[in-house]
Homo-oligomer: A and B are copies of this chain.
Amino acid sequence: MRDIDGRAMAKAIGAEVAATAERLRADGVVPTLAVVVPTDDESTAWYVRSIERAAQNRGVECRVLQLEDPSAERLKSELDTLSADDSVHGIICQTPLPEGVTLADVGEHIAVAKDVDGANPASLGRLAAGLDTFAPATAAAVAEILRQDEVALKGKNVTIIGRSTVVGKPAALLLLAEHATVTICHSRTENLPEVCARADVLVAAVGRPEMVTAEYVKPGAIVIDVGTNPTAEGGLVGDVNAESVASVAGALTPVPGGVGPVTTQLLLRHTVQAAA
């Protein structure tokens, strides 16, 4: 089994982002990403710092707006303000959200043109309708990795485990647009290993540590592991049991070092695109 090197792909995207950011700055535009952080969740804080670092390395300004458990109204009002602010080009709102607040609800207050992580349902609808829009960065990373790895998709069976609004559904739409035959599985799917084992490309986006084992994988299949499950030791583990699938899969994105770094660079790419 071959490891797909997400870090190398991310580096290439990052270099392209840096070049675009430099051109923008030469024209007097400072590409700017606003990151709204509505809770003091520890792993969110870690992730936000990694976005800040990545942005700094690529010439993208990153403004972090830390809120202390805001009401839905306050959060929407902040997103409205950022949407109207000409100096801000991209806006993301980190999860988890305060209790009783849903991403779809607050996402409607992120202007579609600045919705670099596809949180506004209107962005998802535009994606489904084939209009120009930003897909959620994680779903976009799945499609980007398959594109960069030159994986044949036209007519092929792609199976996605997970039907979330942020990964499973938008990834299905993106890969459908690449002419794949797309199957969406989830916790209720009967005979899940059997269904997955028919896939030429298997995307695991389920949030269960190392759930995907050899029996889920067709010999030679490309496996994309979207899972980022924290371990007791403070590390990360994917949804795929790499050791188990190693003898069957053709290639796998490792965790860490697969989908994650590509996702971060795509957020920055979306931001410079929004600023251009």
Q: Are A125 and B121 in contact (CB under 8 A)?
A: yes
Q: Are B182 and A183 in contact (CB under 8 A)?
A: yes
Q: Are A184 and B181 in contact (CB under 8 A)?
A: yes
- A195 close to B (CB within 8 Å): yes
- A224 close to B (CB within 8 Å): no
Q: Are A155 and B189 in contact (CB under 8 A)?
A: yes
| Cα–Cα, bound, A154→B185 (Å) | 11
Tally A residues with Cβ within 8 Å of B: 36
- A232 close to B (CB within 8 Å): no
Stoichiometry, copies per complex: 2
| Chain B residues with CB below 8 A from A185, complex form | 181
Q: What's the nearest-Cβ distance from chain B to residue A84, in Å?
A: 19
Within 8 Å by CB of A125, from B125, B176, B184, B189, lies B125
| Cα–Cα, bound, A82→B175 (Å) | 36
Q: Are B190 and A186 in contact (CB under 8 A)?
A: no
Q: Are B186 and A183 in contact (CB under 8 A)?
A: no
A 175-218 to B, binary, CB cutoff 8 A, 1 in contact else 0: 01001011111101110000100000000000000000000000
Residue of B nearest to A187 (CB): B179
Q: Which of A104, A128, A154 has the most CB of B within 10 A?
A: A128
Q: Which of A129, A173, A181 has the most CB of B within 10 A?
A: A129
| Chain B residues with CB below 8 A from A124, complex form | 124-125, 128-129
| Cα–Cα, bound, A14→B86 (Å) | 50
Q: What's the nearest-Cβ distance from chain B to residue A60, in Å?
A: 27
A 99-137 to B, binary, CB cutoff 8 A, 1 in contact else 0: 000001101000000000000111111111111000000
- A76 close to B (CB within 8 Å): no
| Chain B residues with CB below 8 A from A130, complex form | 104, 165
Q: Are A165 and B121 in contact (CB under 8 A)?
A: no
- A156 close to B (CB within 8 Å): yes
- A7 close to B (CB within 8 Å): no
| Chain B residues with CB below 8 A from A122, complex form | 121-122, 125
Q: Are A129 and B165 in contact (CB under 8 A)?
A: yes
Q: What's the nearest-Cβ distance from chain B to residue A138, in Å?
A: 15
| Cα–Cα, bound, A124→B130 (Å) | 12
Q: Which residues of A contact B (CB under 8 A)?
A: 104-105, 107, 120-131, 154-157, 163, 165, 169, 172-173, 176, 179, 181-186, 188-190, 195
Q: List 22 A-B contacts (CB under 8 A).
A: A104-B126, A104-B129, A120-B125, A121-B125, A121-B128, A121-B129, A121-B131, A122-B125, A124-B125, A125-B127, A125-B128, A128-B128, A130-B165, A154-B188, A155-B190, A172-B172, A176-B186, A181-B183, A181-B184, A181-B195, A182-B183, A183-B183
